[in-house]
Amino acid sequence: MTSKQNIDDSPVDFAEKIIMDVKNSKDEGVLKCVQCGMCTSTCPAARHSDYNPRDIIERVLAGDESILQDDLIWNCFYCYTCHSVCPVGNSVCEVNQILKQIAISRQIGYDKLYEYMGFADSYFTAAIGAIPEIFFDDIKNDVPGWWEFRTNLGEIREELELDPPLMPPKETIDEVSKILTITGFKEKIEKIRASQEAEK
């Protein structure tokens, strides 16, 4: 007789939680994973670290919640390459977003997020995500011309007659700040920052 595992049976409760999450846009794509490894063969994070997207899905389907504690999940940077190549419509990218959100809700990974607090702050000051200042030196070293481009962006845009201005108007910034406050984003950021600063 063929063995069958229902998605409401333990040990796949964890997988069901991932599948039912609002961020998981594909119809049970996680359950269709055939472990072909296409995602891993094209994933830039896998190329440069021990991170393995195929393994992420295998562990999720095995109900292995220890994955939430695994530092490797933070190596995925949501480029969506795996999403575009998966032959069965799965998205490791989305699964990782869900895993990280569950981890954050259990106060895991705050140390990984702390470096990106400047990115979160920029939504309140500019209504858009901006590269945190702590990365400027590294980018200056790695990308020749980036700093000159960044500091002269206003003039470059003017010269190219680009319109409207790069920064959104104040009303937009206020509106975005309000949404981020009402939806709890601000509170989450403050909690992460406070926890990490208390450990210093």
Residues engaged in binding ligand SF4 (CB under 6 A): 33-39, 43-45, 53-54, 57, 76-82, 86-88, 90, 92-93, 96
Q: Do residues 120 and 189 lie in contact, with contact meaning Cβ atoms separated by under 8 Å?
A: yes
Which C-beta is closer to ligand SF4: that of 80 or that of 149?
A: 80
Which C-beta is closer to ligand SF4: that of 74 or that of 176?
A: 74
Reference 77, options 121, 119, 105, 136; nearest CA is: 119
- Per-position DSSP letters for 138-151, written without gaps between them: HHHHHSTTHHHHHH
Minimum Å distance from CB 7 to ligand SF4?
A: 17
Which C-beta is closer to ligand SF4: that of 90 or that of 189?
A: 90
Which C-beta is closer to ligand SF4: that of 77 or that of 149?
A: 77
Q: How far apart are CA 152 and CA 86, in angstroms?
A: 41
Reference 17, options 81, 55, 53, 68; nearest CA is: 68
First-to-last CA distance in the chain? Answer: 58
Which C-beta is closer to ligand SF4: that of 20 or that of 34?
A: 34
Q: Do residues 33 and 90 lie in contact, with contact meaning Cβ atoms separated by under 8 Å?
A: yes
Minimum Å distance from CB 84 to ligand SF4?
A: 9
Minimum Å distance from CB 28 to ligand SF4?
A: 12
Minimum Å distance from CB 11 to ligand SF4?
A: 19
User: Coil, helix or strand for 155?
Assistant: helix
Minimum Å distance from CB 23 to ligand SF4?
A: 13
Q: How far apart are CA 95 and CA 82, in angstroms?
A: 11
User: Coil, helix or strand for 84?
Assistant: helix
Which C-beta is closer to ligand SF4: that of 56 or that of 189?
A: 56
Minimum Å distance from CB 110 to ligand SF4?
A: 20
